[in-house]
A and B are shown apart, each in its own frame.
Chain A
């Protein structure tokens, strides 16, 4: 009775460590394909943008109320995700690349 428990505990540890290892490795060294940036007409500053700048751009594109802003990743690019409850009644989700300020994605639901 003792043996299978010890065996499985070891297996559990092994599974956990494999997973966390894979996860961190994949997170840090993800391939990040340099896809062609979406041309959206937004003038993108060449320097890193701040959270406030991302909010400003999002509100210019979709006036309304910002419900959430946080750092996220889109297709391997570090972005500011801005959620806007638009005056048009839609919930907008905009991703601006932190490095360049380029609009990476724009979705509504």
Chain B
């Protein structure tokens, strides 16, 4: 018999999650050094356009998530999943010893991951916008950064790359967490983020 399922993730939250993934991949593939040989076969103008618009899309998504974290449904709210560091560490310990309790919404470790991911993505976006303004003289920050010198531009570029790599590291951690928790509680969390439903 099929176990009873209930709606946990609202449609906008799911749309946010997968659009964020798509935009992040688009931004990464279009300028990431790892994909240079692929990029060499594509138009440079197109890659630049894709990168910039993916960045703007992520910025809008981050603003939406911030807003949704305060006014969204129960499981989307920060108050539902942001826990004190001590509690989060205790939960992480329990997870590693294969004894963590199941949470219907985000568990404390997942909640911490969301917060760090949002911050890391924000830094990536802000540094990207700064680079766009300082180096190319384009975008909303161009007016402020028009006089930036080479040293400044290099520093912004470094920050943008560092923030991107840190975000990638977090994504790996996030994926490991999803697989680990899915195995631990015998449920498919990827499917839950697609359908919005979880076992009651």
Chain A residues proximal to chain B, CB less than 8 Å: 1, 4-5, 7-9, 11-12, 15-16, 19-20, 22-23, 26-27, 30-33, 67-77, 81
Contact = CB atoms under 8 A, between A and B. Distances in A.
Contacts of A27: 138-139
A11 to B, nearest CB: 6
Contacts of A31: 137, 142-143, 146
Contacts of B43: 70
Given A69-B44, A76-B137, A76-B142, 10 more contacts: A5-B11, A8-B72, A9-B12, A15-B63, A15-B64, A27-B139, A70-B44, A74-B136, A75-B136, A81-B44
A8 B73 CA distance: 11
A33 B137 contact: yes
Residue from B59, B60, B143 whose CB has the most chain A CB atoms within 10 Å: B60
Given A8-B12, A8-B67, A11-B64, A23 B139 contact: yes
Interface residues of B, dominant DSSP: helix
Contacts of B5: none
Contacts of A26: 138-140, 142
